[in-house]
Structures are given as structure tokens and as C-alpha cells.
Structure 1
């Protein structure tokens, strides 16, 4: 017999500080997990959802102290995969507004697209008492380094504004194939997102794409490789990987835009993932406006491969 799920009773939810400022539709989707989005919008349009006794549009932003009436809703029964608690994360900075995690490589920042869970789900599992934990930005699964998580909605809103206005300084270290010659170079190439015939997300340089700006600085160079610092002035998907590959300098170990025969050789030499690390963040604290400057050294696997290069490759000073 098919399981039709369970029907919830009428609920009355008091909006706390963590949910203040959130749109009512997003609030309901988080509250009613397992309910299709179309149904959430139907109960909003029909007026079955009330705030402080009155009807509201789906764009209404909640205020602290609001009372939300949620009508009975049937929720599909399904077994959610258990999120493992995992090893506690390396927390580089924390206060009551935000925290910064030094994300390990190989872990997605959130579940979805075939990934049952990510860093944010594990972090919530590790901190069941936390009322609000939301990603401020993202890192690719194979990228390690600094990632900001908001602990208050007010902090999330301000940090999103800073990101959009380019006021968060994000710097990465990467190893690329080839001899990068310029001490500093600006790359301003528009980036266009598309899907492959297999349905995979990709990005390419295209004049119809969105503006993108990377500042590349040379840190060290060998005969076959260069160690670069890349400052992101915009935050487009795969920006560093596509900008550098387009210039003929693919990232070592990049399985989407890289030099695939070289990647196999690098694996034999000990580099088993993409060489990209978010090493530095500078931003204004979202609530106090104090300057925050954080850094995370290269993880052992990347630092170890650089040590191999120093022993096997001739340093290029020219």
C-alpha cells in the first residue's frame, strides 16, 4: 500500500530574530520540508497562510514577533539520508554573527545534484543548538580554504550586500601548467554558464556572458609550472579555472577545464586533486564594521606537492 505521508495540524509559528527579514515563501519551504513548492505557493495565494491574522503576499518579509498561521499540509513520507556528524571543522574565526570555516577539499558546501549532504548540513548536525546557520558564499567541492557562514540573518543580509558590491576581498593560491610571466595581470573576460549534452554545468569565456574580473599575481615559477595568487573582483562560477585555462594556463588537477594527460601524471607524482585553495579573506564585520582579515595556509597535500616540485623542477627566475 502506498504511503501517502502524514497531515500536519494547523500550526502557529512565532518569528524569532533568526528568521526576521526572511521572505514568507522561503520561511514556509524551510518549515514544510517534503512539501512541493507549487503547493506552498498555492496556500499562499489562497490566503490559507496568515500573518498576525491577515493575508500577505508571497514577497512579504517577516518581522520579529510576527505570528504565522500555517494550514494543515500533507507531507510526503520519505527516508532522508542520515547526515553523519563527522569530524569537527577547523573554525578560523567565530562570534555571535558569523563563523569562518577552513573547508577541506573533497566536501561539497551543501547537498544537492547527487550529493546527499555537504558542509552546511554537517555543521548543523554538529551544532544542534544553533538556530541559524547559512552559507554566505560557496567554494567548489575540490577547492579547500576559507568559507563564511552566517549565524544571524541580519549578518547574512549585510554580507550578501558586501559580496554583491565587491567589498569582500577573496584571494586564492593555485598551481598552473605553464610559465606565467607577468608579476600582476588583470583578466576581464565575460563568463557564460551552459549545460553539456550530459547535463553537466560548465562555463566558458563568451561575450554574451556576465562580467568577470580576476587579478593574477605571480608568486613562484618553475620551468613547467607557476604558483599564482588570484584575487576575485567578481564571484562567477568556476571563474579562476575558466579565466586561467582560457589564457592557456590550466589549473593542475582540474578535472573539468584542465590538461587531462598532465593530470594523470600529476596523480602519479602525488597531486591527487585540483590545486586551488582559498587562502585569504578581508571584509568588514557585518554588525560592528570592524575590519576582519583571515588566512589559512596551504593544506598538507598541496604544500607537499610544492616541496616535490622544489626538488624535481628547476626554479625559473627569468
Structure 2
């Protein structure tokens, strides 16, 4: 019997059970829900029921999978902001935000492992594994609900820095292309431009040109999966180092140093700034994550390469 507190309130019963029944297959959790074995205040409920503070939930005995997952190593990441409601980190490239799809654990699991005393810690949004930068996590359910509402209303201002290949022309350019999600035959999630896809809008601001490359700031007006990557690729400006939608021949060349230019061994996409209303105070909060060292060093090498070309 579990009594629901303020932090568990307002979440669906199925999501609550999936969180507390670690190691239990999702199908089994839904089976016990449908069978009526889960009771709230001694009454039957369906999987869409939203918990209220003070509810008493009966969770039936459930058998945990015999093959336990390997222990998740705790980890901390560079903290950009932390208070009683929020944790904002600078996620490195190459680290998944959560486990699944061949990844046994990600940022959220590692943070929970390193903070066993935390009663509540949830991702507010996601970043691609290959993308670095600002990642928001909620330390209270009220904060999570508030920030999700801001995301739905489009009031959160998220900015990314990215380096593309090609002759970028405009100082400010809107790209509106509908995006369709699908899975490859091996189960990998992909996105393509398709007329019946979801409406998607990105605004790109030119920061600086580096020879055949351009550094852009991207403003997300919608938040679709792989939106920046697909909008740029479909417009003829692949992101340097993008192994899903980029120019694969270019990526191979960039992985090797050439003259003054150093090697680039990651995708050049970084969530560098975010502005939102603090979920408790309602005051605007702007946070920034500096460009990672490897990206900054690559830009400097492009600058040096351009200088060498001018001299020669």
C-alpha cells in the first residue's frame, strides 16, 4: 500500500507503476492494471487515472525479471544551474540522455544513481546522443508539469550552434519543412521531409563564415525529432560530422587532420542557450553552455586554414 504525496500527484497511474516496478516488463504492468489488481482508495481504476495527493494505491506482488541489469555507474555532469526545483547540466556529446535502443543507461539513470537521496528527478526534454549542451531536469513534479506546459505553448527559447558545409547566403533564414518519423529495417529511428509529416519550423542566423563552412545559430520554433539536422540536410547544408543525415564523404575527410585544420570526430551541434520562466518564481531565466573545447578548437583551425590559403 503506497500513499501518494505531493510530488507523485498528477501523474498517470501507469507511469507511476512503471517507475516503481523496476525490472517488471511493461506488458505485465498493463496486464495487472487491466485485471483490476491495482486499486486506488480500494476502487478499480483504468490506466489513464491521474493520481491525487493522499490517494492510497494497492500495488499487487509482481515478480521482477530474473536477469537483473548491470548496476548503473553514478555520474555527475557540469552543472549550469541547480535549485530546489531544477537541475540544468551541460551534456557531453556521445552520451545518451536515457537508456534504450541498445544503450543500457544514460544521463538520467547515472544522475539517479549518483543521487540516491533524490525523491524525484525527471528529464524535461531530450537531446540526441551526438548533440552536446543544455539539458533540463526537474526535481519536483510541479516543475516538470510547468515546464512541459511552457514547451507546449512554445514560450521556451532554445538556441543551438551548428557548423554546416555549403555556401550559406542569408543572415537570417526560415526553414519550414514537414517532418515524418519512421524506423529503418534494423529498428533505428529516422526522420525525413514528407508532405504529410508534422509541421516544423527552424530559424537560422548566420554567425560567421569559415571558407566552405558556416557557423549558424538555430532557433527552434517547433521541437520535432532531429529537426535541425533534417532541415539543414534537406536544404543542402549538411551538419559537419552528422553520421545520420550528413555528407558521409565529407565526414570521413573531416576525421583526418589536413594542413592547419585539425580532425573533427563528432557532430557539430551544441545546445548553447535557453530562456524560460522559472517554474516557481515565474521570472525569466537564461542559461548558456559554452561551445565545447573540441568544437572551438576546430573553428580556430578553420580560421587558420583560411589564413594560410590567403597567404599562399
Normalising by structure 1, report the TM-score: 0.92
Distance 1:45 1:84 in 2: 35
Structure 1 residue aligned with 2:160? 172
Of residues 8, 32, 37, the one that matches 1:48 is 37
State the match for 1:85 in structure 2. Answer: 74
Instruction: Say yes or no: does 1:208 pair with 2:208.
Output: no
Match of 2:300 in 1: 307
Instruction: Report how far residue 205 of structure 1 moved.
Output: 0.9
Q: 1:33 aligned to 2:26?
A: no
- Is the contact made by 1:135 and 1:150 (CA closer than 8 Å) also made in structure 2? yes
Contact kept? 2:25, 2:65, Cα under 8 Å: no
Using the TM superposition, give the Cα deviation of residue 97 of structure 1 relative to its aligned residue in structure 2, in angstroms. Answer: 1.0
SS where residue 285 of structure 2 aligns? strand
CA distance in 1, matches of 2:267, 2:281: 36
**8 Å CA contact 2:23, 2:68 repeated in 1:** no
Change over 3 Å in CA distance of 1:196–1:72 after alignment to 2: closer
Q: How far does residue 264 in structure 1 lie from its aligned partner after superposition?
A: 1.2
* Equivalent of residue 228 in structure 1, options 216, 219, 226: 216
Q: Which residue in 1 is equivalent to 2:260?
A: none
Distance (Å, rounded) in 1 between the aligned partners of 2:191 and 2:12: 31
Instruction: Flag as ranges the 4+ runs of structure 1 deviating above 4 A.
Output: none
Identify the match of residue 60 of structure 1 among 49, 69, 91. 49
User: Do structure 1's residue 18 and structure 2's residue 34 form an aligned pair?
Assistant: no
Cα offsets for 1:154-190 (capped at 9, x unmatched)? 1111111111221110000000001211000111110
**3-state SS of 1:230 partner:** strand
Q: Any conservation in 2 of the 1:223–1:314 contact (CA below 8 Å)?
A: no
Q: Which residue of 2 aligns with 1:6?
A: none
Report the equivalent of 2:124.
136
Native 8 Å contact 1:155 1:286 kept in 2: yes
Aligned Cα root-mean-square deviation (Å): 1.4
- Which consecutive unaligned segments of at least 5 residues does structure 1 have? 1-11
Q: Judge which range, 71-80 or 163-172, deviates more.
A: 71-80
Compute the TM-score of the two structures, normalised by the length of structure 2: 0.94
Which of 172, 179, 187 matches 1:184?
172
Match of 1:256 among 244, 248, 260: 244
Counterpart for residue 151 of structure 1: 139
Unaligned runs of 5+ in 2: 258-262
